[in-house]
Amino acid sequence: MAIPTAMLKLSLRTHLRNLSRIGIPYAAHLQRQMSSEAILGRLKEKGLLRSQAFIAGKWVDAEDGTTLPVYNPATQELLANVACVGGKETKEAITSANNAFYSWSILTAAERSKILRKWYELLMAHKEELGQLMTLENGKPLKEGLGEVVYGASFVEFYAEEAKRVYGDIIPPPLGDRRLFVLKQPVGVVGAITPWNFPLAMITRKVAPALACGCTVVVKPSELTPLTALAAAELALQAGVPSGVLNVVMGNASQIGDTLLASSQVKKISFTGSTAVGKKLMAAAAGTVKKVSLELGGNAPCIIFDDANLEVAVKGTLAAKFRNAGQTCVCVNRILVQEGIYEKFAKLFSTAVQELRVGNGLEEGVLQGPLITHAAVQKVEKHIQDAVSKGAKLLVGGKQHNLGYTFYEPTVLGDANSSMLISREEVFGPVAPLFRFKTEDEAIQIANDTQFGLASYLFTENVSQAWRVAEALEYGLVGINEGIISTEVAPFGGVKESGVGREGSKYGIDEYLEVKYVCLGNMKP
């Protein structure tokens, strides 16, 4: 369903009027109104502004006509009203994926690879539009939005290639008249549930390997950022992904989730999101004993040793902390600094943080956009109040940004300690707490003192120390002297309560494959 431009303008004006009534200033937003409209207009022209669910190769409304508003977190503009579906439509999507499974799975790997490659090319050809759309619905700076398109598309390219490398095994038999084989086969229909913080990459990281090995998928993107998912589905359709192989439903999260979990046709659930929801899904998946992959929350430590190259450490920590306004699962949550360089690091890091320009992600030079919702800002405030009440010092920032109620100042807290909420819980915002430590053993103990185990970072010039610490950290990912480490060619995933399974790399495709053992016996001599 195309959204008429006149309706977009009307709903935007009404929404802005409502905002002013409740005291939220919007003069700055009005100035940017045209550029958002221009972006949406361009997306519409190219058929990439979709608002319906995508089921069995068709764009469909919710059966009861319900819609869900999607807002720009920087301006509170209404971007679109999308179909808000529930259990019934999800069942249809599962049926369509189930019906499409056989014919998709028996294509040759080369045939599936060709379609995925085409999808990759289309995603890259529409990099600008997709990057802008992501900035509109998620708020991340445009440079990060464009970066995510490249990152998201890289999984499609990688698995287009990997599709051709799903090898089985031949096992030397224990008896002479037997031959033993291992086949790798697609699991079947996959339910993929994704969050708002990477509206494209979290989807392609699941869908690309699933499709590559012959599975079909029902995707449920976050209600906060469904537009990028729908645009990606439109491009998959244009690339030749057959009807039913990829379906997208958004709306009532628990109804959609419950329906996916209850269905015996769905053989696998792949979820990225919070640990709380992940645990619920894992428990519910037991009902039909589904395969499960979970990419959950983190509490990433970043250890800066006395001998670290300070320039590298400041740059790496800044990138690992403030990317996407601190709203990534691999964002640093605790910065542990050895006492010998604590003061120097705190000073250099604080200066760098002060220079981060905050604003609407569409503006040139902006390095930190808004948080996704006002609730996210309130969580940040709660963490800061708690830390300050327990002795932390505000070195930089510490309050809502004057740009509006979803913006928060990049913040640095000194003298953080383990009694603070921020030492245990993901802040998921632009707050960097500095903790002091004395010895390597103490740093490892503090770093591992959490139920999470996703990303960790360390900065040192001592190679032996780097290896010792990397091996001792109870985390799925370790960055040594580097703050941005995600790539499609390396396995991504957590240990402990940060999840199970891996995405990306040659390991990522295993999550969508069953291993079948075939024994050929009684062979004639």
CB of 337 to ligand NAP, least distance (A): 23
Residues 6+ apart with CB under 8 A from 361: 74, 135, 139, 140, 141, 142, 144, 145, 369, 370
Comparing CB distances to ligand NAP, the nearer of 272 and 350 is: 272
CB of 482 to ligand NAP, least distance (A): 18
Point out the catalytic residue in the list 84, 215, 329, 331: 329
Whether 215 is a known active-site residue: answer no
CB of 372 to ligand NAP, least distance (A): 8
Which residues form the interface with ligand NAP (CB under 6 A)?
193-198, 202, 220, 222-224, 253-254, 257, 272-274, 277, 280, 295-298, 329, 426, 454, 494, 499
Whether 329 is a known active-site residue: answer yes
Contact between residue 422 and residue 333 where contact means Cβ atoms under 8 Å apart: yes
Comparing CB distances to ligand NAP, the nearer of 220 and 267 is: 220
Q: Which residue is nearest to ligand NAP (CB)?
A: 257
Contact between residue 124 and residue 149 where contact means Cβ atoms under 8 Å apart: yes
What does the angle CA 1 – CA 254 – CA 501 come to, to the nearest 5 degrees? Answer: 100
| DSSP code string of 103-132 | HHHTS-HHHHHHHHHHHHHHHHHTHHHHHH
What does the angle CA 234 – CA 238 – CA 240 come to, to the nearest 5 degrees? Answer: 120
- Residue 377 to residue 355: CA distance in whole angstroms: 20
Point out the catalytic residue in the list 92, 137, 162, 295: 295
Comparing CB distances to ligand NAP, the nearer of 218 and 224 is: 224
Task: Give the three-class secondary structure for 409.
Answer: coil
Comparing CB distances to ligand NAP, the nearer of 89 and 295 is: 295
CB of 211 to ligand NAP, least distance (A): 19
Comparing CB distances to ligand NAP, the nearer of 329 and 362 is: 329
Instruction: Name the token pair of 204.
Output: 């392609």
- Residue 240 to residue 121: CA distance in whole angstroms: 12
CB of 62 to ligand NAP, least distance (A): 14
Task: Give the three-class secondary structure for 417.
Answer: coil
φ/ψ of residue 488, rounded to 5? -65, -20
CB of 163 to ligand NAP, least distance (A): 23
Q: Where would I find the beta strands (DSSP E) of 12-150?
A: 53-55, 58-60, 67-71, 78-83
Helix (H) or strand (E) holding 414: strand 411-416
Q: Which of 79, 66, 368 is nearest to 225 (CA)?
A: 79
Comparing CB distances to ligand NAP, the nearer of 460 and 505 is: 505
Instruction: Report the 3 state secondary structure along 465-479.
Output: HHHHHHHHCCCCEEE
**Catalytic residue numbers, as ranges:** 295, 329
